């Protein structure tokens, strides 16, 4: 198994954080992982993305140029990374922030209104975790849901533990949305 993915959005949307959740979960399951962030000096409000590789074999390089999956939290991210996804790969678009459609017919595409879903479950800043749930629903072989929850606990740490329950609700809401559409 070799999963190469890119999580992309505006700085402050939590795209780097959900990449860390995935990488941490992969480590917890004994897999090889890399997490490589990329962001401009402006961070919050600027563009931010991270490449995550999860594999059952050693990883040669952390740079992802032809991902299996792209998670686009906004239109600039969709425009920048859609063409890089391997044929047959996964593209997940936060349809709350863009009504643009994929220009490709060789991908599995999900349009997830992540912001609205996050608000419905009482976690208005949890759109990133909704999208992570959608990604895991479309790629259940990467890591287990229970492991992602453990990774969230690890990455949030004691200081941010108050956000765990809301993130768990957002995660399950993203999973349910994909399974029911």
The pLDDT of 153-181, averaged and rounded, is 94
Percent of the chain at pLDDT exceeding 70: 96
With 0.85 as the threshold, say if the pTM is over it: yes
Reported as a pLDDT band with limits 50, 70 and 90, residue 112 is: very high
Question: Which CATH number goes with the domain that contains 61?
Answer: 3.40.920.10
pLDDT at 89: 98
DSSP secondary structure, the chain, as one string? -EEEEEEEEEBTSSHHHHHHHHHHHHHHTT-EEEEEEEE-TT-BTSEEEEEEEEESS--S-S--SS-SEEEESSHHHHHHHGGGSPTT-EEEEETTT-----S-SSSEEEEE-HHHHHHHTT-TT-HHHHHHHHHHHH-TTSS-HHHHHHHHHHHHTGGGGGGHHHHHHHHHHHHHHHHH-
Q: Could you give the number of structural domains in the chain?
A: 1
Domain span holding position 155? 2-180
The model's pLDDT over 116-128, given as tens digits with 9 standing for 90+, comes to 999 999 999 999 9
């Amino acid at each position: 198994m070799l999963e190469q993915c890119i999580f992309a959005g505006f700085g402050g949307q939590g795209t780097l954080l959900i990449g860390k959740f995935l990488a941490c979960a992969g480590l917890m399951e004994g897999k090889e992982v890399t997490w490589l962030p990329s962001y401009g000096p402006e961070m919050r409000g600027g563009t931010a993305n991270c490449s995550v590789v999860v594999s059952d074999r050693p990883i040669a390089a952390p740079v992802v140029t032809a991902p299996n999956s792209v998670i686009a939290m906004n239109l600039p991210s969709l425009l920048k990374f859609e063409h890089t996804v391997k044929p047959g790969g996964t593209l997940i678009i936060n349809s709350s922030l863009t009504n643009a459609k994929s220009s490709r017919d060789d991908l599995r595409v999900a349009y997830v209104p992540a912001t609205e879903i996050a608000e419905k479950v009482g976690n208005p800043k949890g759109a990133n975790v909704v999208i992570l749930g959608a990604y895991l629903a479309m790629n259940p072989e990467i890591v287990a849901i229970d492991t992602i929850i453990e990774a969230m606990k690890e990455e949030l740490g004691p200081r941010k533990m108050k956000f765990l329950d809301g993130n768990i609700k957002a995660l399950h809401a993203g999973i349910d949305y994909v399974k029911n559409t």
